[in-house]
Amino acid sequence: MTIETADNNFMSIDIFGSWLEIGMVLAVVIVGSVMTYPIISALIERRKKRKIVPSSSNEYRYVHTRVHEILTEIRVKLGADRALVLQFHNGGQFIDGTCMRKMSTTHESCQLGVSDTLDKRKDMVLSPFVEMLALVSNSDSSINATSDMQDCHLKRHLESNHTLVYSIYPIKAVKGGLGTISGALLVEWCNWDRVDMIDDDRVNVEIPESVRYIEGQLLNNLG
């Protein structure tokens, strides 16, 4: 048996080459760990901050009761017939495996004698409502007349709920107006007598303010 050392071979093993490969692997592991550490830390912190409150808890009941109270307050202040929170969510998958994006009414306050839409506005696929998504992305609380809209799915949907005029404003997932749009506040007028009494300036002040209160309640999400 021959032991060769001059060319870094020991018992037919390339010692220099083996250590070099090990060093390269360790370097890759270290660099990968350094690069992914901030991402992992952020995910851990985000999970810590996210508070899932059991639906049986007093806090859950308080928050959702408060959201309903805010809707009732804005509806009464503006003389509207219906005020509701629409929240965007996933539900099911298309055949190619992509998520099916939907929206549902989660909170609603209606004037006496005006029908609620909780059951009708549940698990609605978002793709037919591109006009609504455009309005929401504008962050404009101005009044819109249903009759002035071009024919589209949103117009037919509003007409089916007897909505004459409406205002829609985004609800975001983070306080202070920053973050991803997670839903919308929709305020509807279904009676011409009430429409004639709308104060546009008040609408443009009260709706964004109400949304800030709603965002503050929904921030601790309660599921």
pLDDT by residue (tens digit) across 55-74?
Answer: 557 788 888 899 999 999 99
pTM score over 0.75: no
Tell me which of 3.40.1190.20, 3.30.450.40, 3.40.190.10, 3.40.50.970 is the CATH number of domain 58-218: 3.30.450.40
Beta strand pairing status for 181-189 and 165-172?
Answer: antiparallel
Q: What's the one-letter identity of residue 133? A: L
pLDDT by residue (tens digit) across 142-194?
Answer: 999 999 999 999 999 999 999 999 999 999 986 544 578 999 999 999 999 99
State the Cα–Cα distance between residues 209 and 11, nearest whole angstrom. 79
Beta strands in 94-218 (DSSP E): 99-110, 124-125, 144-145, 165-172, 181-189
pLDDT of residue 95: 80
pLDDT by residue (tens digit) across 19-32?
Answer: 666 666 676 667 66
Nearest alpha-carbon partner for 143 in 82, 191, 189 = 189
SS3 97: coil
Return the H-helix or E-strand segment holding 128.
Answer: none
End-to-end CA distance of the chain, in Å? 72
